[in-house]
């Protein structure tokens, strides 16, 4: 479904809303906002005659209106963060739903645009928007480029001309007017975390052809200060998190039973509708995940990768360790956005594959939230836990010999792990590795039981190293190898020999097996170790 053209004008009509920056805002923000308005006026002039643009400034009634004839005045901000959060709010910030009210005006428009107060436009911005609409998208985001200030502010042509750096956040939204009706974003506030992700999720829930454009140089921002990360914004962040989750629950309650989104509903009504397929891997690290990506890549319809970007390692995983999955979910939806961009990029490939071991620990929830389960397949890749533990031990994980391990693994003794094992109960790195395996395997079993609409496929790594086993997996996935492309199964599995610290961590497979059995016996009273115990039994 493309945008519905309702105007009688021979040129496209766009209504662009920008929240204003009042006199109480910091001086640098006020200066940047003035340059933003300059860039908007420039873009309106460049597209004049081809695009009819109506720019509206949404403001608080007690603040001065625009003194520029190019813009319309909309004093629609009746309440603020002071009403939602209370007097502890560090700044007066507007509510997103009241900024969206500035779209409601007599007249007909082909599309509505919302940009942040500090986002500048390239001169051909409106022509770019019209071209994307003509391609059939009914809602989309254009992510900004972050440029440096070495050539001046937003008014500098040299600053605008910089290639800049991509930014993972969302600060420019375009939608057809039909999607505005009933759009539920709750009491989310602008100017802090979770506002963009809330709007993005609400639009993705309603739109039929949604896309995030992360590779266009259509909008820009000088610097990348991210003020919402300051400690004083914590109370605003918590408020937005609560409001976002409440809006999500209301939207879910209004969906038809069994439908996860508009796309899922289409699939139930029209059997010919086929959503893009996605395949992920549910397995601990060192289980052959990279090998699996190479194997699936032999199918001509597959675009396969191992630990595709953003990997969700490093700061993403550390945030999960400190705050938990629920508190970081909105921030981690950048992974779902990146996947959506890749799906739009794929042409002849119809199956997206990411075999990252971090699916279970860092992003399974945002994938399940963001995509139709009818198109999701998860491979439960299995390898003998003795071999997995030994490989991790030889690489020095969970020890000072490999200090980067917190970037790739969660601490199994943290409170949110659910293992009920304290750090004082573990004796050295190997114990921590075994506890980590117990947590990952328990997570896999819980997730499997909680996702009956996802297709789970079991695969043992040793069997995949044979042509018969590899063909069987491809057939179960509905894939077929390209003729002459059977090199991957001959590669060595799990063989990072050059990185393994054998001299310092040398240990036999038999010794690992003894340590694993002793570990399971020592924690025989912990129910959370049941999955590891069963996995050990099936490989004996």
- Give 503's Cβ-side CA count (13 Å radius): 1
pLDDT for res 356: 97
Which residue from 169, 185, 282 is spatially nearest to 221, judged by alpha carbons? Answer: 169
Query: How crowded is residue 503: how many other Cβ atoms within 10 Å of its Cβ?
Result: 6
Region 401-428: mean pLDDT is 93
pLDDT digits (tens, 9 = 90+) for 368-407: 888 877 789 999 999 999 999 999 999 999 999 999 999 9
pLDDT band per the 50, 70, 90 thresholds, residue 155: low
C-alpha span between 354 and 479 (Å, rounded): 16
> What pLDDT sits at residue 348?
52
End-to-end CA distance of the chain: 55
Low-confidence winner among 26-30, 101-105, 442-446 (lowest mean pLDDT): 26-30
Task: State the pLDDT at residue 29.
Answer: 80
Q: What is the DSSP string of 50-81?
A: T-EEEEEEE--TTS-----TTEEEE-----BH
* 405: nearest Cα among 283, 286, 528: 286
Tokens of residue 295, six digits: 């194997």
pLDDT digits (tens, 9 = 90+) for 71-129: 999 999 999 999 998 888 888 899 999 999 999 877 789 999 999 888 999 999 999 99
> How large is the average pLDDT for residues 57-73?
89
Phi, psi torsion values for 58, nearest 5 degrees? -90, 130
- The DSSP annotation for 485-505 comes to ---GGGSPSS--GGG--HHHH
**What percent of the chain has a predicted confidence (pLDDT) above 90?**
51
**pLDDT of res. 394:** 93
**pLDDT given for residue 294 in this prediction:** 94
Q: How far is Cα of residue 267 from the mean position of the Cα atoms in its chain?
A: 23
pLDDT at 1: 38
Distance CA 12, CA 111 (A): 8
Where would I find the beta strands (DSSP E) of 327-444? 351-354, 376-382
pLDDT of residue 99: 94
| Closest to 295 in 3D by CA, of 478, 474, 457 | 474
The model's pTM is 0.56
Query: In which residue are the tokens 């992510």 written?
Result: 143
Please return the burial class of 249, using the count of CB atoms within 10 Å of its CB with bins 0-12, 13-18 and 19+.
Answer: exposed
| Nearest-5° Cα angle at 366, 300 to 241 | 160
Question: Does 261 or 415 have the greater pLDDT score?
Answer: 415
pLDDT above 70: residue 314: yes
Mean pLDDT along residues 55-83:
90
Which pLDDT belongs to residue 265?
45
d(CA 436, CA 417): 9
What DSSP designation does 460 have?
E
Distance of CA 338 to the CA centre of its chain: 6
pLDDT category at 496 given cuts 50, 70, 90 is low
Token digits of residue 530: 């049941």
pLDDT digits (tens, 9 = 90+) for 464-495: 999 899 999 999 998 888 655 555 444 454 55
pLDDT (0 to 100) of residue 230: 63
Is residue 156 exposed (0-12), middle (13-18) or buried (19+ Cβ within 10 Å)?
A: middle
Residue 269 banded pLDDT, cuts 50, 70, 90: very low
Residue 242, pLDDT > 60, answer yes
């Amino acid at each position: 479904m493309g945008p519905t053209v309702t105007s009688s004008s021979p040129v496209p009509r766009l209504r662009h809303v920008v929240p204003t920056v009042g006199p109480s805002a910091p001086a640098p923000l006020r200066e940047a906002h003035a340059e933003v308005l300059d860039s908007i006026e420039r873009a309106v002039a460049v597209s004049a005659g081809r695009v009819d643009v109506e720019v509206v400034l949404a403001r608080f009634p007690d603040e001065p209106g625009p003194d520029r004839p190019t813009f319309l005045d909309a004093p629609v901000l009746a309440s603020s963060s002071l009403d939602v959060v209370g007097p502890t709010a560090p700044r007066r910030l507007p509510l997103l739903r009241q900024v969206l009210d500035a779209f409601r005006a007599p007249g007909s428009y082909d599309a509505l645009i919302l940009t942040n107060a500090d986002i500048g436009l390239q001169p051909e911005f409106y022509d770019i928007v019209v071209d994307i609409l003509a391609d059939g998208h009914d809602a989309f985001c254009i992510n900004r480029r972050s440029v440096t200030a070495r050539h001046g502010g937003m008014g500098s042509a040299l600053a605008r001309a910089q290639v800049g750096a991509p930014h993972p956040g969302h600060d420019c939204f375009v939608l057809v007017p039909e999607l505005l009706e009933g759009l539920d974003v709750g009491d989310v506030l602008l100017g802090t975390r979770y506002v963009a992700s809330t709007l993005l999720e609400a639009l993705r829930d309603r739109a039929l052809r949604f896309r995030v454009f992360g590779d266009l140089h259509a909008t820009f921002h000088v610097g990348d200060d991210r003020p919402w990360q300051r400690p004083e914004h914590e109370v605003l962040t918590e408020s937005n998190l609560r409001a976002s989750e409440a809006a999500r629950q209301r939207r879910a309650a209004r969906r038809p039973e069994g439908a996860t989104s508009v796309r899922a509903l289409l699939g139930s009504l029209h059997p010919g509708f086929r959503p893009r397929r996605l395949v992920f891997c549910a397995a601990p690290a060192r289980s052959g995940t990279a090998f699996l990506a190479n194997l699936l890549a032999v199918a001509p319809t597959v675009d396969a990768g191992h630990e595709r970007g953003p990997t969700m390692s490093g700061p993403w995983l550390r945030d999960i360790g400190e705050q938990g999955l629920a508190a970081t979910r909105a921030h981690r939806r950048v992974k779902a956005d990146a996947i959506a961009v890749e799906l739009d990029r794929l042409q002849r490939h119809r199956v997206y594959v990411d075999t990252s071991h971090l699916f279970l620990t860092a992003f399974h929830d945002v994938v399940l939230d963001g995509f139709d389960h009818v198109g999701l397949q998860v491979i439960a890749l299995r390898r003998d836990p003795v071999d997995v533990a030994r490989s991790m031990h030889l690489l020095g994980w969970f020890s000072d010999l490999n200090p980067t391990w917190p970037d790739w693994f969660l601490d199994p003794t943290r409170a949110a792990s659910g293992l009920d094992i304290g750090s004082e109960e573990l004796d050295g790195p190997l114990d921590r590795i075994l506890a980590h395996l117990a947590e990952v395997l328990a997570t896999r079993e819980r997730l499997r039981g909680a996702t009956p609409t996802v297709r789970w496929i079991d695969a043992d790594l040793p069997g995949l190293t044979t042509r018969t086993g590899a063909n069987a997996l491809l057939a179960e996935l509905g894939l077929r190898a390209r003729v002459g492309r059977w090199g991957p199964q001959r590669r060595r599995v799990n063989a990072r020999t050059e990185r393994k610290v054998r001299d310092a961590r040398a240990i036999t497979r038999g010794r690992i097996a003894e340590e694993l059995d002793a570990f399971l016996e020592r924690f025989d009273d912990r129910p959370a170790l049941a999955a590891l115990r069963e996995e050990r039994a099936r490989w004996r």
